[in-house]
Structure 1
């Protein structure tokens, strides 16, 4: 009978472990959900198996994309295929899936054995025991509920990371376009000032202009060259930033379209705050974490007074006879009544609730400011397109005519040239800032707060008309 009891206990234990360990460890379903969510909100498709290294066909696709002029969409495609941070984010899904499987398991039974050496010729006495934590078994459903909520939070966070990466790539792309366009602007300016400086030197050597006029022309040329060098550095910085997001090394060769597109229209959206709240993946993750905290609190509240309850069986052999029976162990609430654990659990829930409320307020504020900034950048672009650039062109043309007619001096002419260059530079920055503001609004609509908050400034100040060295 004792042997039968031990065998029965062993069979029950193994059965529990087998039934609780049947879940898959592969986060295939979770990755599919994230992919669908990202596609619905951005139109982009993610393709990745977090269990494998990048397969050859992915590398082939990347090389095929890089062999052509890079567009914003193709740059996003490379980032979704090749960004190491994104692969690390996908690994979070594997961690969450493993935690969910682990939550369905119970701790291994504890087996104990003791050998007693009696005096004389008596046989050895054996004590055998096996125990399981009863509370561990009883709380399996709640632990799975916690892990499932945390996995849902991870899915929202990973989807948000993908959406954020897409926005970052788009921002980096237009930043590089702007840097290249400004670099090209100063290349043209240097060519023009070099010719003007050479003409001034010839006139100076012939005695037709004085030292002041010659030095002024030369200074303007040197100033423009310095601005070009700074533009070269800005282009390098912007290129490396995009390289990093695409997961490419410095030696990788690629080109992208030079000019920033001009926006055709601005679409006002007075309901942006509600859309931001409804779409927010941060709120989705926060709600899931609150559910996990609620289930955790139920466990802590139940086990605060008696955290350990064990049951099992023992068998003892005295001489040649076996004695077997059930065993039971419980932690006595004498020194620790669990008051602190319960209080901590309640405080964690309150903290999460307040953070959730604060996040809602922040999302509304960020959405409102982002929309206002987009409208501001639209008006700035329109100003430069319709007013500033045409006026500066006419001003320079009229100034040149008056200079040739000897009605004004070199200082007025160079000032007009500086203002035209500054207006062109400011227009490029305005285009860049408009598209970055548009990307921020798109990111909010897709469910993620921009990595650069509207409370911070990513735009350029108005470029001074007295200098050709603008930017940041």
Structure 2
């Protein structure tokens, strides 16, 4: 980076040129060519993370052509029944909250370019006249300290922009994870609605039969009340599940960013079947520590604080250093006019504060960030282990229902039908078994839903994009503010 010392050396200026302080302006113009906006506003990193991690496309909508292209892709996906993958893709193209995040990334790039530019010089001119005399003074002032620390500040700005890119990528992964969770809950609710609808039909027939038998005296009041209670409870369960399915569907529509005629999305009535084999992740902790976006952000925050600490230590004694080139013209009616050139230097004397306070604050902020990073790495390992453990257990539970419980319930139901046909059991024993089979089917659906939710949580634990604890988020926000304050 060009040195700023020659600015304060007036004899080095050629005769007849402008004042020496004009070199401040010249240096600013030269240095300003080093900063420019990227063609994609930093979206390359976000697109890379989305493509490698969740195999999805992202777009930052800035023009009418971008909007038309995204809308066309969304319309094409909505023509078919949504799978979980197509639902995620629709959300990444249509969710306006995510687009606002990409706008924040573009704003972060403007901060990068602005912080990478040298400070603008200040030009002032004064004209004083009286008693026939005239004095004109021109002054160009440049902040030498800001120029001297420009490389440090540029590097800090670059690291903050990298952090903003990872933040946008993390928000992208978070939206994808939220869509997966709500999608599986919505489809599971639809499947349970279908099951409870059949159960209600059976319970209604049983209640009607019990009422007729009660009229003939073949069934006592206790058994009649039991069948009526089962019908009433099943009706209430069905109404509750329908409401849950409708609410889950609306949450999914909000995440997809749909409105108007597009809200009529088509969803499957059954959850996907279990995979034939569960995932085997022997290096789950290493993968999580390597790929977690929030951990990468914490590492960048630590690097920013380290740079900020170095800058604070280097400039602890000097917080103000301005140099001004001065040109003064005086016209006296009683004497010949004359011109004066020179410079003015202004700096702060560190008598009371030698920068120890700022250095101590920067050092403690760095130590705090280091400890939080270590804590986060430990938590990431634990979260990954627990997510994989839950994933395997829910897979085993759901598989147990599919392989053991439901086949046995089917055998029992078929045997009860045969015995009812041969009049070995009465209708109420058959209906009791039917209620038990409905309960097993419901538990199997919920177990399968829990597995798919656990798989989504496992992806989040490895790649990032999860919902952190409020305390951790507060600490992270405080650390970010401290890093931003220590950079100046």
Q: Shorter-normalised TM-score: what interval?
A: 0.7 to 0.9
- Determine the C-alpha separation between the residues in 1 that align with 2:270 and 2:66: 33
Q: Distance in 1 between matches of 2:39 and 2:381?
A: 33
Does structure 1 residue 38 correspond to structure 2 residue 38?
A: no
Is the 1:27–1:94 contact (alpha carbons within 8 Å) kept by the matching residues of 2?
Answer: no
Q: What is the CA distance between 1:418 and its match in structure 2? A: 3.3
For 1:378, the equivalent position in structure 2 comes to 395
- What is aligned with 1:448? 464
Task: State the 1:194 CA deviation.
Answer: 1.4
- Distance (whole Å) between structure 2 residues aligned to residue 15 and residue 325 of structure 1: 19
> 1:398 Cα shift?
5.0
- Output aligned runs, 1:17-166, within 5 Å: 17=29, 19-21=31-33, 23-26=35-38, 28=40, 30-50=42-62, 55-118=67-130, 121-166=131-176
Question: What are the Cα deviations for residues 253-295 of structure 1, in whole angstroms up to 9, with x where unaligned?
Answer: 1111111122121133221111111112222212222221122
Contact 1:314 1:325 in 2 (8 A): yes
Deviation of 1:21 after TM superposition, in Å, equals: 5.0
- The alpha-carbon deviation at position 375 of structure 1 amounts to 0.8
The two structures have a TM-score, normalised by structure 2, of: 0.85
Of stretches 387-396 and 152-161 in structure 1, the one that deviates more from structure 2 is 387-396
Q: Distance in 2 between matches of 1:48 and 1:301?
A: 40
Match status 1:351 vs 2:368: yes
For 1:191 and 1:124, locate their aligned partners in 2 and report how far apart those are by CA, in whole Å. Answer: 104
- Measure the CA separation in 1 of the matches of 2:233 and 2:65: 50
Alignment partner of 1:208 is 2:218: yes
Secondary structure class of the residue paired with 1:313? strand
Measured after TM superposition, the shift of residue 342 of structure 1 is: 0.8
Shift of 1:308: 0.7
Q: 1:197 to 1:452 in 2, by over 3 A?
A: farther
For structure 1, the residue ranges without an aligned partner over 5 or more in a row are 454-472
Shift of 1:343: 0.7
Q: Deviation per CA, 1:365-418, whole angstroms, max 9, x where unpaired?
A: 0000001001110110122112222233344555666778476794x6555333
- 1:124 is paired with a residue of what secondary structure? strand
SS at match of 2:42: helix
- Aligned residues between the structures: 449
- Residue aligning to 2:272: 261
Measure, in 2, the Cα distance between the counterparts of 1:372 and 1:16: 58
More displaced, 416-425 or 43-52? 43-52
Of stretches 427-436 and 244-253 in structure 1, the one that deviates more from structure 2 is 244-253
Q: Are 2:294 and 1:282 equivalent residues in the alignment? A: yes
Please give the alpha-carbon distance, in whole angstroms, between the structure 2 residues aligned to 1:365 and 1:97.
35
In 2, Cα distance between the equivalents of 1:275 and 1:258? 35
- Secondary structure of the 1:55 match is helix
2: CA distance, partners of 1:4 / 1:236: 81
CA distance in 1, matches of 2:116, 2:190: 56
Q: Are 1:193 and 2:237 matched, yes or no?
A: no
Provide the residue aligned with 1:367 in structure 2: 384
Q: SS at 1:196's partner residue? A: helix
Does the aligned pair in 1 maintain the 2:35–2:117 contact within 8 Å?
A: no
SS for the counterpart of 2:208 is helix
Deviates more, 1:267-276 or 1:388-397: 388-397
* Distance across 1 between alignment mates of 2:414 and 2:226: 20
* Gap change, CA 1:236 and 1:53, over 3 Å in 2: farther
Question: Structure 2: how far apart are the matches of 1:12 and 1:116?
Answer: 26
Number of the residue aligned with 2:439 = 422
Instruction: Give the Cα separation in 2 of the matches to 1:145 and 1:29.
Output: 18
Provide the TM-score with structure 1 as the length reference. Answer: 0.87
Note the aligned Cα RMSD (angstroms).
Answer: 2.6
Unaligned runs of 5+ in 2: 1-12, 332-336, 470-488
